[in-house]
Amino acid sequence: MSGSTLEIKDLHVEIDGKEILKGVNLTVKGGEFHAIMGPNGTGKSTLASAIMGHPKYEVTKGQILMDGEDVLEMEVDERAKAGLFLAMQYPSEISGVTTSDFLRSSINAHREEGDEIPLMKFIKEMDAAMDYLEMDKNMSQRYLNEGFSGGEKKRNEILQLMLLKPAIGILDEIDSGLDIDALKVVSKGINKLRNEAFGCLIITHYQRLLNYVKPDFVHVMMQGRVVKSGGPELVERLESEGYEWIKQELGIEDETVGK
Ligand SMILES: Nc1ncnc2c1ncn2[C@@H]1O[C@H](COP(=O)(O)OP(=O)(O)O)[C@@H](O)[C@H]1O
Ligand SMILES: [Mg+2]
């Protein structure tokens, strides 16, 4: 199976009447890993939320297409069904719903009625993925994200990714707050997903994660736009020189948006 294509064309997004995204263009295809880098406050999370249809984010111009289908016309659950998945910067805690039940419902929400995943098959897959991510099995019986450490929450996002197998995964600062061991495990999980049917948008502030998960394409966001794109060599340059040279090159004084 070949992958899907997510196309973002001239995307403009407002929050509370203030324009945050000012014309983002980006195409992610199955098999490709794209990194979106950039300082804080440049619109990276806004892009992720807009793709997933967060109600606070109003698209005022441009298009988001998934295999040519208009994503902006889809409800949030339809976007997930179309193969989009967002691992959030700050995953929500859901009291009263166990991690295991949440995962099984999510998988079944992607399947037709009457074709639910058999319980034993689900448990086998979940156990295998949890082993791979070096997670404590008891976690599956705990309420979703409740009392989870930062590292546990992020592993849990990758666990969802591994079980749901979306066509396009968007990972927003999956590396934030992780110690080096957790970072390696999370990276191992992302790398395991690399195949022709999976495209990934990795949003990160730091190059650290990208030492473990090698992107094919790298984009830098400033002022609510992608201002620079390149290959993995861009990560090295940002690591050694920071973001200042891009600002100078483009004559940007303040890289943030929405102030
Ligand atoms: N839910 C929100 N409500 C109000 N303002 C927001 C919201 N989300 C983002 N913003 C504003 O949009 C700008 C870009 O934020 P964000 O997309 O989170 O940047 P990044 O992820 O690159 O750090 C900031 O000025 C921020 O205050
Ligand atoms: Mg962010």
Sorted by sequence, the CB contacts under 8 Å of residue 52 that are 6+ apart come out as 76, 79, 84, 86, 170
Q: Which two tokens stand for residue 81?
A: 């069904």
Residues 218-250: pLDDT tens digits? 999 999 999 999 999 999 999 999 999 999 999
Q: Which of 11, 12, 14, 15 to mutate to test the pocket of ligand 1 (most atoms within 8 A of CB)?
A: 15
- What is the CA(45)–ligand 1 centre distance, in A? 7
| Strand-pair partners of 170 | 86, 201
- What is the CA(62)–ligand 2 centre distance, in A? 21
Residue 1 pLDDT:
55
- What is the CA(204)–ligand 2 centre distance, in A? 8
Sign of the dihedral through C-alpha 244, 35, 46, 21 = positive
Task: Report d(CA 221, CA 226) in Å as an integer.
Answer: 4
What ligand has the least distance to the C-alpha of 14? 1
For ligand 1, whether the C-beta of 42 sits within 6 Å is yes
Task: Report d(CA 234, CA 255) in Å as an integer.
Answer: 18
Task: Report d(CA 237, CA 35) in Å as an integer.
Answer: 14
For ligand 1, whether the C-beta of 18 sits within 6 Å is no
Residue 194 pLDDT:
96
Q: Which of 18, 20, 227 to mutate to test the pocket of ligand 1 (most atoms within 8 A of CB)?
A: 20
| Helix, strand counts (H, E) of the chain | 8, 12
Burial environment of residue 131 by CB neighbours within 10 A (0 to 12, 13 to 18, 19 or more): exposed
Residue 88 pLDDT:
83
Phi, psi of 200 (to 5 degrees): -135, 135
Taking CA atoms only, the protein residue closest to ligand 1 atom 17 is: 43
For ligand 1, whether the C-beta of 40 sits within 6 Å is yes
Task: Report d(CA 245, CA 4) in Å as an integer.
Answer: 35
- What is the CA(58)–ligand 1 centre distance, in A? 13
pTM of the model: 0.95
- DSSP code for 128: H
Max distance between CA atoms of the chain, in angstroms, equals 58
Asked if residues 166 and 195 have their Cβ atoms less than 8 Å apart, the reply is no
For residue 257, count other CB atoms closer than 10 A to its CB. 19
Q: Which two tokens stand for residue 229?
A: 């794109």
Structural domains in the chain plus CATH codes: 5-96+166-250 (3.40.50.300)
State which ligand 1 atom lies nearest to the alpha carbon of 224.
14
78-103 burial: b if 16+ Cβ within 10 Å, else e? ebbebbbbbbbbebeeeeeebbbebb
Task: Report d(CA 219, CA 229) in Å as an integer.
Answer: 4
**Low-confidence residues of the chain, pLDDT below 50?**
none
Residue 63 pLDDT:
98
- Rounded CA Rg of the chain: 18
